[in-house]
Amino acid sequence: MPTYCGLLMPASTTPAASPARAYRAAWWLPDPHSATIWGRLGRREPQAPTHTERWDTPDGDFVDLVRLPGARGDTSPRLLLLHGLEGGVHSHYVRALFREARSRGWAADLLLFRSCGSEPNRLPRSYHSGETGDPRWVLSQLIAAYPSAPIGLVGVSLGGNVLCKWLGEDGDALPRQVTGATAISVPFDLARASKRIGQGFGALYEHVFLRSLKPKALAKIRRHPELASLGIAGVRTLWDFDDAFTAPVHGFADAADYYARSSSLPYLSRIARPTLLLSAVDDPFLPADVLDDVRQAVAAAPWVEAEFPARGGHVGFTAGARPWAPWYYAEWRAAEFLRPGFESAAF
């Protein structure tokens, strides 16, 4: 049985495996789309007292970190947050995770993926669902600065896929300061997710993402003449966008190659830290049968707990009997899952 810090056990036996507060999806959000859209349009989260720092990366570029200090200074438990596609500090789940961290006295750092900060990044490359280099480097810098602080990793949507792939890539080699991880609404199989999101009402989500992605890509093409051959003006779907831009910019043959090499599903069985996978079966961004494949992949993985309630939408998980008094499960559950690891860590 693998151990680290001399104290922690596999996720299946940790106290966090059985949440003390049960989740029941809000009756007043009766379908997956209302559950998903409520988070973006109906949810109100306070802005935490954060500040933003720019860190120069080893390859001559930079990333921005949005930072919340902890109550115990350098020894405070820390969250490293990875946001979703075109997400950032404005995202409702990011604000909620900052709120959870602050209420518990934890520090938190949101990594803004390249091109998701206040300015375009310097290099032609951007970010994508399988890019784990920047999070790994940021973690190394946090550990160097706070060697006595336990760190929990939280990834949401695209950031959740990045996180799961990273955890599987590193396995037992992950630094011992990482005491656990939570991945919410992960598109574990990128090809199937890309096809699913554009179906029916889901075309609205695709339109919203492309409305942000395409101008950024066009601006990057203008700044970098070596990208001039990339044509994205006629792109209508996320698959088309990844085929025309994401794949060639980041060294993939095409969208199918990008999805195959970046999906986190093949990496799940290699995870070696307590990890919670929280997804709703009715997530409109992902076919439900993908979660069946995930269950099978982690069935013999002692560190991974899969929690897949029937309802919740994509990054929704709203509960509460009254619309004017909602309770949001996912961010609380993420923090509760990580709490035992923080409390038992010893370095």
pLDDT, tens digit, 9 for 90 and up, residues 116-172: 999 999 999 999 999 999 999 999 999 999 999 999 999 999 999 999 999 999 999
Confidence band, pLDDT 50/70/90 cuts, at residue 17: very low
Confidence band, pLDDT 50/70/90 cuts, at residue 8: very low
Query: What tokens appear for 218 in the block?
Result: 């066009």
Q: Is residue 291 part of a domain?
A: yes
> What's the domain count of the chain?
2
Same domain, 90 and 185: yes
Same domain, 333 and 214: no
Same domain, 224 and 184: no
Mean pLDDT of the chain: 92
Q: Is residue 6 part of a domain?
A: no
Same domain, 123 and 247: no
Determine whether 314 is an active site residue: yes
Please list, in sequence order, all residues whose beta carbon lies within 8 angstroms of the beta carbon of residue 83, skipping any fewer than 6 positions away: 91, 93, 94, 110, 111, 112, 113, 116, 156, 157, 158, 159
pLDDT at 20: 61
Last residue of a domain, one of 199, 227, 262: 262
Query: What tokens appear for 85 in the block?
Result: 């596609």
Same domain, 40 and 158: yes
Q: Is residue 41 part of a domain?
A: yes
Same domain, 162 and 195: no
Kindly list the distances between the CA atom of residue 190 and the CA atoms of 27, 148, 218, 263, 343, in Å, as whole numbers in the listed order. Answer: 30, 36, 23, 5, 35
Pairing of strands 275-278, 304-307: parallel
Q: Is residue 285 part of a domain?
A: yes
Question: Contact at 8 Å (CB) between 208 and 284?
Answer: no
Tell me the CATH number at 129.
Answer: 3.40.50.1820
Q: Is the pLDDT of residue 15 over 50?
A: no
Place of tokens 């789940």: 93
Given 76, 157, 185, 264, the catalytic residue: 157
Last residue of a domain, one of 262, 277, 300: 262
Please list, in sequence order, all residues whose beta carbon lies within 8 angstroms of the beta carbon of residue 58, skipping any fewer than 6 positions away: 137
Place of tokens 């993926």: 113
Query: What tokens appear for 140 in the block?
Result: 């190394």
The pTM (predicted TM-score) of the whole model is 0.93
What one-character DSSP code corresponds to residue 41? Answer: I
Given 64, 170, 282, 283, the catalytic residue: 283
Q: Is the pLDDT of residue 12 over 80?
A: no
Same domain, 276 and 135: yes
Q: Distance between CA atoms of 197 and 255, rounded to whole angstroms?
A: 15
Q: Is residue 52 part of a domain?
A: yes
Residue 238's domain spans which residues? 191-262
Q: Is residue 1 part of a domain?
A: no
Last residue of a domain, one of 220, 244, 262: 262
Given 83, 92, 128, 314, the catalytic residue: 314
pLDDT at 16: 40
Determine whether 157 is an active site residue: yes
Q: Is residue 203 part of a domain?
A: yes
